[in-house]
Amino acid sequence: MSRLEGTVSVITGTASGIGAACAARFAREGAIVAGIDLAKPGDAGDWGRAVAVAPDSGFWQADVRDEAAIERVVSEIVSRFGRIDSLVNAAGVAGAGAVGELALAEWERVISINLTGTFVPSKFVVQQMAKQRRGSIVHLSSIEGLEAMEQQAAYNASKGAVVLLTKNMAVDYGHLGIRVNCLCPGLIDTPLTEVLKSPELVAVRQRFVDGHMLRRAGQPEEVAGAALFLVSDDASFVSGHALAVDGGYTAGRRLTDPPA
């Protein structure tokens, strides 16, 4: 039997990147996927593969910051599928700038999507999970929620807050059989990080890659595999944990080049 057979998974940010990879992987493992994204996915890509594997899956176009819209979407998902077994909050945006130069509008954009956009879906999904007295939630944080990085004030703040929100929810809802964890990916090749391949940033990207002990960027499917573990029964005694999926980036730093 597949690891998620007969379960219903809500995944935000499913139009591309890590969210799309989670949708495809969860569908292959037997889950019905309810996707949510502000952008509408095309017929190709990971979401297309998810629907091909799990044709009962559904997609809702909504802004994860919009409380009324997400409340309606979650209600429709429960009405259609009867339950929600897992939630992956993968919607997010990048941002850049130090505090002294950062526009308030940019700060609010990053915080609202990455943090409020994690809180709002969780608010309504956890209410359903409380009725079921069972469920698993996975938030997407970042290594930048564990360590600071230059010119990343808003992003660091948003992702660090997601780590603490994870622990708070694990404390508040563990007695109801609800597990809450988060993933902290390193550099992952997604549309969000494509800008680092531009000529003016390629050297920066290489230094970032070299900070990962595996000396490469990760793939969305590798993060999806970790998300699968956390929502599955294999992680039945794991809650309140921030799992780094970072090729060893947060393990430490090398001061010399590795041997050939």
- The amino acid present at 201, given as its one-letter code, is L
Query: CB count, 10 Å around CB of 163?
Result: 18
Nearest CA-CA partner of 209 in 245, 243, 249: 249
Active site residue: 26, 59, 124, 155, which one?
Answer: 155
> Tokens 């297309």 belong to which residue?
48
Residue 195 DSSP code: G
Q: How are beta strands 86-89 and 8-12 bridged, if at all?
A: parallel
Task: Give yes or no: 173 in active site.
Answer: no
List of residues 6+ apart from 55 with CB closer than 8 A: none
List of residues 6+ apart from 69 with CB closer than 8 A: 62, 63
Task: Output the six-digit token pair for 43.
Answer: 């017929």
Torsions phi, psi for 63 (to 5 deg): -90, 125
Do residues 40 and 64 lie in contact, with contact meaning Cβ atoms separated by under 8 Å?
Answer: no
Do residues 41 and 34 lie in contact, with contact meaning Cβ atoms separated by under 8 Å?
Answer: no
Annotated catalytic sites, by residue?
155
